[in-house]
Structure formats: C-alpha cells, structure tokens
Amino acid sequence: MGSVCQAGRTPTNLEGMNRLPSAAAACAVIGLGLSGCAAAVSVEPAADAHNPECAAVMLRMPDEIDGHASRTTTSQGTDAWGDPSVAVLRCGVEPPGPSTDRCVSVNGVDWISTEETGASWRFVSYGREPAVEVLVASDRIAGATVLSEISPSVSTIEQTRSCVAAEDLDEDGLPVETPGPDEQPADEETADERPADEETGAP
C-alpha cells in the first residue's frame, strides 16, 4: 500500500524517483492557466492565499529551478517557472487529510503526489497549514527536482503531522506508538523495583 498520511514519523523519501512519467505542460484540471509566452502566467489564487504564512513562503521561493526562471503571475501566493511553465505553485490550498495516496519526503517536507492525467503531476504539502500545491510538467522536468528546490521554503510552515509507512499502522489504521527509552510498560518491573529475593547476580 506504500505510505499513508497520519500523525507520526516520516520514513519515506524521494530516492529513486528520478523521473516522473511523461506529460505535456502542467495545466489545469484545477483551473490553472499556463501561458506559453513571456506575459504573466494566469494562476487562480488559492482560498487561503492571503495567509501571512504564505507571504513568508513566497519570499523564499527560488529565482529559478533547473535553469527555468521564475515568472510573474497574476495572483497572490503563486509562482511559476519556465516559459512555457514547467511548474506552477499555489500557497493556501486546503490541507489534505489522511490519505493512502503516495507520500514522499523531500528536505523534511512531506508531499502527497497524484497524477493529474497524462498532463501533469500534482504535489500537495502534508501536515502543514496552509498547504502548498505545485503542478509539474513531468515531460520537461523531474518532480524530484522541483520539490528539492521549493521544500526549504515550505519548511518554514510549522509541521503538525507527517506521513508514516503502512507497516507502522495498527489494524485500525492508527500509528503504532513505540515506547521511548525512558518508558517502561506498566506490567514490567525495573531491577530497582524487584523484591530483594529476585535480584539477579547474587551468589
């Protein structure tokens, strides 16, 4: 089943994901318009684009990704790279809930990835609010490349949840909690708590 998104640790990563399946320029099943000219890229703003956290994230976005320069967009909390665009980003989208969709971790940021038809891949940050979404034209740039460049900016948003591996869930789909080094199960006595006649190492 791969990784699922629940509260817990983050065992997954993007290693081996060197190239996403071929697709045309990332475009718009969700209403994003990608322009093939040097004019501003028309991007529909996310519902929470005015969130102050988004302003901080956008200020840290890279000026270029893999040689594709950042371009002017028509709305707040958005960015785009390349002409025509190879990646379009929106901050302030609705944070995703727990999901069995594939989850990858890049530079400390978890991303839920879904293929948006053959045209693009969609990545949405998980466990951070507001959430950040990026559409990637996977025939022109690898998703791993885009995520590695934008994740440091997204990491400024506080993480409250993370993805866990399927084997780390119990039968109810909840994370299995492992006792810490200072924790003892309630039914186990420590050596100092044992009766004197049960001490080990005595002659």
83-135 confidence digits (pLDDT tens): 999 999 999 999 999 888 999 999 999 999 999 877 799 999 999 999 999 99
Backbone angles phi, psi at 22, to 5 degrees: -60, 145
Give the CA distances from residue 190 to residues 134, 170, 184, 197, in Å, rounded to whole numbers and listed in that order.
52, 28, 8, 14
Instruction: Tokens for 135, please give them.
Output: 């559409």
* Amino acid at the residue 110: D
How far apart CA 40 and CA 85 sit, in angstroms, is 11
Section 23-50 average pLDDT: 63
> Quick check: 195 pLDDT over 60?
no
Cα 173–chain centre separation: 20
Strands (DSSP E) found in the chain: 3-6, 64-65, 68-71, 78-81, 87-93, 103-106, 109-115, 121-126, 131-136, 162-165
pLDDT at 191: 37
Confidence of residue 14 (pLDDT cuts 50, 70, 90): very low
Q: What is the mean pLDDT of the chain?
A: 75
* Helical packing angle, 52-59 and 143-154, nearest 10°: 120
pLDDT of residue 38: 62
pLDDT at 1: 43
Q: How far apart are CA 90 and CA 76, in angstroms?
A: 9
Structure tokens at 88: 């379009």
| Rounded percentage of the chain residues whose pLDDT exceeds 70 | 62
pTM of the model: 0.67
Say whether pLDDT at 35 is over 50: no
CA distances from 28 to 22, 107, 128 (A): 16, 27, 24
Name the pLDDT band for 171 (thresholds 50, 70, 90): low
Chain center to CA of 54: 15
Give the separation between CA 124 and CA 109, rounded to whole angstroms. Answer: 10
